[in-house]
Structures are given as structure tokens and as C-alpha cells.
Amino acid sequence: MPDAPDDQQYARTARTTPTRYRERADWEKAAIHAVLDSAWVCHLGFVADGAPVVLPTIFARVGDRLYVHGSTGSRPLRAAGAPGGMPVCITVTQVDGLVLTKSAFNHSVNFRSVVAHGTAEQVTDPAELAVALDALVDHAVPGRSGDVRRANPKELAATAVLRLVLDEVSAKTRDDLADDDEEDLGLPYWSGVVPVRTVYGAPVPHPGTERELPEYLRDFRAGGAAC
């Protein structure tokens, strides 16, 4: 039987409990939400015509719901619109460092990841769809949804959003030094960690843009939204 969830963590299940490096797993909601909120791309896994498919796409979290962007003509969106929804697995990974050791075998990566299982459904309620689409825009650049033209009916007809309620989900993290074997410590090779960060360049305006850089983009450029 899975452990019962509470207000601070998600339930532990067989699918959300890793078989290797179990000590790196985390079911705390705050830790899981932090990983999701710092990433822009997820990988959506599902089965189509008896074969596994994994697609990269953008997403956003609103409370305990993940909203995944797609086209109304795509396979996962059509399947998720069927009665009962579509079983999926959604993964998110952030790379924080390249771990270089004195042996090739012990090389690794410092990372933060989230894996979520469940049944995805297509968002059809207009009010919820508006919330989801705003969240997708603001997840990339906070404040942007209030400073753009909203989607027109034709654009809305071509856009679909999947909803996955976060229930069976866990995080996994490695944040450590190079793990050299004791017998390798005397070898004449460099070992250590190469940090990896996401950085932002200066916004490049479109030739037809006459407006000054918005305040939210000035803050964004300064690193206010950096992960």
C-alpha cells in the first residue's frame, strides 16, 4: 500500500520510489514544485498504436496541476480528449553540474528531476483554458500574459492543453562532489565539478518594435527569473 499523502508531501508509490539511489528521492511538495517552476521544457511520454512515444513540450504548474501545451491535431491531445483521458508519464530535468572523476566509470551529473505519473485530460472549460494559457506564457516570462494580444478564436481552435493532476510524483536530486574511488585518488587525473547554469542575454527587439523594454523584461534580464 502507498504511504498516505499529507499537506506537505505526495504519496510514495512503487512507481515513484526509485530502485537505485533511493536516498536521492524526495516526495516533499515544496521540493517538487521548485524543480517544476524552474524548468521550461518537459518530456511527455505515452503509448500510441502500441509503441512508446516521448515528446518535448512546454508546461506550467498551477497549484497541483500541470498544464502541457500542444496542438489540437497532435496524437497526445486527441487521445487525452477521449473519455477517461490518457495514461502519461511527464519528466522534467535540470542539469546543475558535470561531475568529472579520475575514472570514466564514476563520471556523473548533478541534477534535479521530477517524474509524474497519471492520467492526462484535455482542458475544455474556457475559464480553465484561459488560466492555463496565461500560466504557460507567464511561466517563461513572469508578467508577459498581461502585455500581449490574447489568442483569437482561430488560434484557440488550433491550441490544446493537457491537464495532469499531480498525485503520483517524486523528485530526485544529485548535488555532490566527484565520487572518486579510494584506490584512484593518487592517479594523475583532474577530478571535480563543472557547474552548469542558465543565463540570459540582452533582449533583442524586433525591427518593428518601437516600445521601450518593459520593466518585467529588465528584471528578467538582470536574473530575477533565473533558475
Residue 92: pLDDT above 90? Answer: yes
Cell of 203: 533582449
For residues 54 and 68, the answer to whether their CB atoms sit within 8 Å is: no
Task: Over range 69-84, report the average pLDDT.
Answer: 71
In this prediction, residue 91 has a pLDDT band, given cuts at 50, 70 and 90, of very high
Question: DSSP 3-state assignment of 174?
Answer: strand
Residue 71: pLDDT above 90? Answer: no
| Structure-model confidence comparison of residues 100 and 6, the more confident one | 100
Rounded to whole angstroms, the Cα distance separating 132 from 22 reads 33
**Which amino acid would we find at residue 133?**
L
pLDDT tens digits, residue range 181-226?
999 999 999 999 999 998 888 888 999 998 999 988 887 765 444 4
pLDDT at 117: 96
22-196: CATH topology: Pnp Oxidase; Chain A (2.30.110)
Supply the mean pLDDT for the chain: 88
Contacts of 99 (CB under 8 A, 6+ apart): 107, 108, 109, 110, 174, 176, 177, 178, 179, 193
Share of the chain above pLDDT 70, in %: 90
Task: Over range 164-191, report the average pLDDT.
Answer: 94
Task: Over range 136-164, report the average pLDDT.
Answer: 91
Residue 227: pLDDT above 70? Answer: no
Where does the chain hold its CATH 2.30.110.10 domain(s)? 22-196
In this prediction, residue 4 has a pLDDT band, given cuts at 50, 70 and 90, of very low
The sign of the torsion formed by the CA atoms of 25, 27, 29, 30 equals negative
For residues 172 and 110, the answer to whether their CB atoms sit within 8 Å is: no
pLDDT at 22: 76
Rounded to whole angstroms, the Cα distance separating 57 from 55 reads 6
| Structure-model confidence comparison of residues 127 and 221, the more confident one | 127
| Structure-model confidence comparison of residues 24 and 4, the more confident one | 24
